[in-house]
Chain A
């Protein structure tokens, strides 16, 4: 009996070890990570602030360490990737003391959150140090240059210290440019990258949008030398420069990945402040405001009756505050018919189709007249008309980027689609955490409302990795998004 029991137990144990599937089919510890048909031994990343790791309105060490190319490079390392050196700032604050402009806030230190009157608000800090030249430590593989537009990457002298005061060069490139006459592309090609990423072009339309549409849409003007800093780049210029960069970078057989540009309407800088921001006005305030604008409305009617404006414009310019729901803010809209001859300013109230900029939150204050008796300046609002220009340019740029990627055999990242997904209420989830584009608490956008946090960078970095794996047959692991940093709370 004993024997039967023991032998049947032994038999059962054997059976279980074969039939129970208690182990993983593929243990991740045994999976070999390979580069596929790509070679990651020298990866160079080109782009603008998004590539550099810029966040909280500054370039600083923590942000650089969590830049999306740094995240990608760490995964590439497992598949034979080489060193990925970044032009780290001298401090963890950012900004440049010698270039700091207190009036505009240019080159201030990073934004930090503090509690003001019981609520959290971001504010800039003093710059951390003077511009440091670190060319000697180079070459650097992260060549993301904050502020760069598409055509800047090919511009000779973009890293010339002597050109800084005239605004001809970029301090972030001045830090590590190999010479005063080189260009970003030239320095990149000199490193003979085996793999590159290129995510450029956001600023070709973003600076127009963040200025509230103060620039000019240069579509049709093929000479970028004549562009102002807030202008929209001509899509033909855009396509031609990108094409030339990719040609230069692939000349030695390098493979790479390029990403398209998100619509400005998906980022918190444009979505944080509601289009109809004035809620909770008292009946007295409303009566006073309507009284105050009665003369303006009467003037409009006169102008319409004289044929100076049509009825549609007349209706859109009428100002009326109501007790039901939120009210639009009064804005100056330069695209309205100029009625100054009648003594009528170019005012109207915002509708759900206008985007009020994050920067307006500081001045939107009915009790002192901001947005009510004192209209918001043009620079605080991206109107429907301006938004349409930005989106048209973005669409054209993205079409060019896609066709260049396809024609050169590059992996392609639809960053626009990913950002749009993030802007949805459902967001993007990663192992139990729901990320959205909501300002501060969404987890993905830093305090400037434009640039990504470490977690946001990891989310987008994973999109690059997916695209690379798909195109080149590599199996780079995804980054664990939750392990990167988000917004720092006080």
Chain B
């Protein structure tokens, strides 16, 4: 049974996380160990794998945490010899989860996370302002879930995902000497999560999880044109300078397989492989009601080619208990960018990146406090995106830190 389940999951394709507007910051303890997933110490496992709830060593577990994400991107154009740095606000993703054993073999839980979100802010006068001046994307996942222990060493779990989100996108309209804001704060979507969690013996934890795609539908988007009113009739917008639009932003599916091995009772090693279905994000289409600012046969339809591809990411982390109260954690991961150089887009800049993570965990009885930090080393890119006629070079750096607490009660 054990073997069959594992190999089925492996064959199915399998694995989760990262890249572009995806922020993989959902557990402080996990981040410290390269964001690996096979940790059932507290309720923060809920986002990674609902089945993990069955192995939390407590009847009730609560976990919450927050992060600071500092990212900076530099664009340079070797022909004009100009360079521009983003002025992004600090990102603050956070999470909260609760898991409760209603019966010995049945756990229920709830996870709240902000799994997608980024704000990119380029300088006013930067060369690519026609593509993006500022883009803020946010998504919140509300996930009720249940996990059932199939055997003392195996569990299965499932969750329903209700997602809400917002998009707020400023861009230049150079030919009209103006700017355009595209906004929807009520985008919605839903999906589900599925997972298996195993503890075949004292030394191993194995987590297999799938998170479905969520199509975030913006049904009542508003496009606000900041141009002279004399142009309103020409652009076909109302007296307030606005038009409506519809769009769907895919939040893609993820497969994750992770394992943790206890080398000694004090020393754990963890590894994850993620597979992210970015291929679904091949284009972003904005369908305006009246404004003929598109690029298709129907001039009110604006299609932005994205051509993302699926990515694989590798993660390795370790934890060492210096005392029963103090844990030290380290990790390394490699995130693959979901697009090639030729598809580089400045609204969601993305890079192949190595990252180093670390942190400490403190235990005060039932209360755990975790600190984590991560530094990425994104590989600089040379690109010429012919879809948007944008060429140049880009580099980035980012630093994350987090503080989390968990409370386990028996």
A→B interface (CB under 8 Å):
1-2, 5, 9, 12-13, 16-17, 20-29, 31, 33, 113, 115, 118-120, 429-435, 441-443, 455, 477-480, 482-483, 485-490
Contacts and interface: CB of A to CB of B under 8 A. Distances in A.
A13 B328 CA distance: 18
9 smallest A-B Cβ distances: which pairs?
A: A429-B389, A432-B130, A477-B81, A20-B377, A432-B131, A28-B81, A478-B79, A489-B228, A433-B174
Interface string B175-211: 1110000000000000000000000000000000000
B348 interface: no
Contacts of B332: 12
B234 interface: yes
19 contacts: A5-B330, A9-B358, A12-B332, A12-B356, A23-B380, A24-B76, A24-B395, A28-B83, A115-B230, A119-B234, A431-B127, A431-B389, A432-B129, A432-B388, A433-B175, A435-B175, A441-B176, A477-B80, A489-B230
B175 A441 contact: yes
A18 to B, nearest CB: 11
A16 B356 contact: yes
B325 interface: no
Nearest to B346: A432
Given A9-B356, A16-B356, A2 B80 contact: no
Contacts of A20: 354, 377-379
Contacts of B226: none
B130 A33 contact: no
Contacts of A119: 233-234
Contacts of A23: 380, 395
Contacts of A479: 80
B113 interface: no
Interface in B146-181: 172, 174-177
Contacts of B224: none
A460 to B, nearest CB: 15
Nearest to A465: B79
B305 to A, nearest CB: 13
A486 B174 contact: yes
A297 to B, nearest CB: 40
B81 A489 contact: no
B92 interface: no
A254 B76 CA distance: 34
B177 A482 contact: no
B281 interface: no
Given A16-B354, A429-B389, A486-B174, A1 B227 contact: no
Contact of A9 (B81, B174, B322, B330): B330
B380 A431 contact: no
A485 B332 CA distance: 49
Contacts of B83: 27-29
Contacts, number: 124
Nearest to B394: A24
Given A13-B356, A480-B82, A442 B175 contact: yes
Nearest to A483: B125
B379 A482 contact: no
Contact of A5 (B81, B172, B328): B328
Given A482-B127, A486-B175, A488-B177, A24 B380 contact: yes
Q: Which of A1, A432, A482 has the most CB of B within 10 A?
A: A432
B261 interface: no
B28 to A, nearest CB: 19
A486 B228 CA distance: 14
Contact of A489 (B131, B231, B377, B388): B231
Contacts of B129: 432, 482
Contacts of B172: 433, 482
Given A22-B378, A24-B393, A480-B80, A120 B230 contact: yes
Contacts of B177: 485-489
B390 interface: yes
A5 B320 contact: yes
A49 to B, nearest CB: 23
Contact of A434 (B76, B322, B389): B389
A482 B133 CA distance: 14
Contact of A120 (B234, B354, B379, B380): B234
A21 B81 contact: no
B178 to A, nearest CB: 9
B264 to A, nearest CB: 9
B176 A489 contact: yes
A302 to B, nearest CB: 49
Given A28-B83, A432-B131, A487-B177, 7 more contacts: A12-B356, A16-B356, A113-B230, A431-B390, A433-B172, A482-B172, A485-B177
B76 A28 contact: yes
Contact of A28 (B82, B125, B231, B233): B82
Interface in B317-333: 318, 320, 322, 328, 330, 332
Q: Which of A27, A113, A479, A485 has the most CB of B within 10 A?
A: A27
B128 interface: yes
Contacts of A442: 175
Contacts of B322: 2
A2 B360 CA distance: 13
A25 B382 CA distance: 10
Given A16-B354, A22-B378, A477-B81, A490 B125 contact: no
B267 interface: yes
Given A13-B356, A490-B228, A118 B233 contact: yes
A467 to B, nearest CB: 14
B78 interface: yes
A489 B330 CA distance: 58
Contacts of B382: 25
A47 to B, nearest CB: 24
Interface string B57-74: 000000000000000001
B397 interface: yes
A13 B376 CA distance: 11
B211 to A, nearest CB: 29
B77 interface: yes
Contacts of B318: 5
A22 B130 contact: no
Contact of B130 (A31, A482, A487): A482
A445 to B, nearest CB: 12
Nearest to B127: A431
A443 B177 CA distance: 9
